[in-house]
Amino acid sequence: MSAYIPILLLLLVAVVIAVAILALAQLLTRYVVRPRQTRVKGSVYESGVNPVGNARLRFSIKFYLIAMIFIIFDVEVIFFYPWAIVFRDMIRENLLVFWEMVVFTAILVLGYIYVWRKGGLDWD
């Protein structure tokens, strides 16, 4: 049990510092910094250009679809990195590792082709 005392002490110090910072920020913003809300401070500022029109524009569902497809394929491609790191050591023991990644890559390519054929990547 004595081996865990430094970890518990570190955890206690971290919690005390976090609570102290939050309390200090709350006190400073409440009593020291009293922001005055004006019309200029509340307006939207975008690169020095005055805003024109409504900020809540409707986006096409295609934008969100392409974003989700990108994230899905991006997360799936992350699985290539650990495989590439251990590939040389694993291939000596078992050729199954190579064929598993070939199947995984084929599924990715088929998914990409399916999305492409369905028009999921068209910006129009």
Q: Say yes or no to pLDDT of 78 above 80.
A: yes
Tokens of 88: 């040389």
Please state, rounded to an integer, the average pLDDT across all residues of the chain: 83
| Least confident piece of the model among 5-14, 41-50, 60-69 | 41-50
Q: Does the structure show a pLDDT above 80 at 39?
A: no
Domain count for the chain: 2
Both tokens of residue 68?
């989700």
Is 88 a residue whose pLDDT tops 70?
A: yes
Decide if 51 is inside a domain: no
The pLDDT, as a whole number, for residue 103 is: 92
Q: What secondary structure letter does DSSP report for 55? A: S
Q: With bands split at pLDDT 50, 70 and 90, how would you rate the model's confidence at 22?
A: very high
Does 124 fall in a domain?
A: no
My answer on whether 65 and 35 are in the same domain is: no
Report the candidate in 123, 6, 4 with the shortest Cα–Cα distance to residue 65.
123
Q: Note the residue count of the chain.
A: 124
Whole-angstrom Cα distance, residue 71 to residue 106?
Answer: 18
Residues 31 and 77 in one domain: no
**What's the pTM value of the predicted model, to 2 decimals?**
0.48
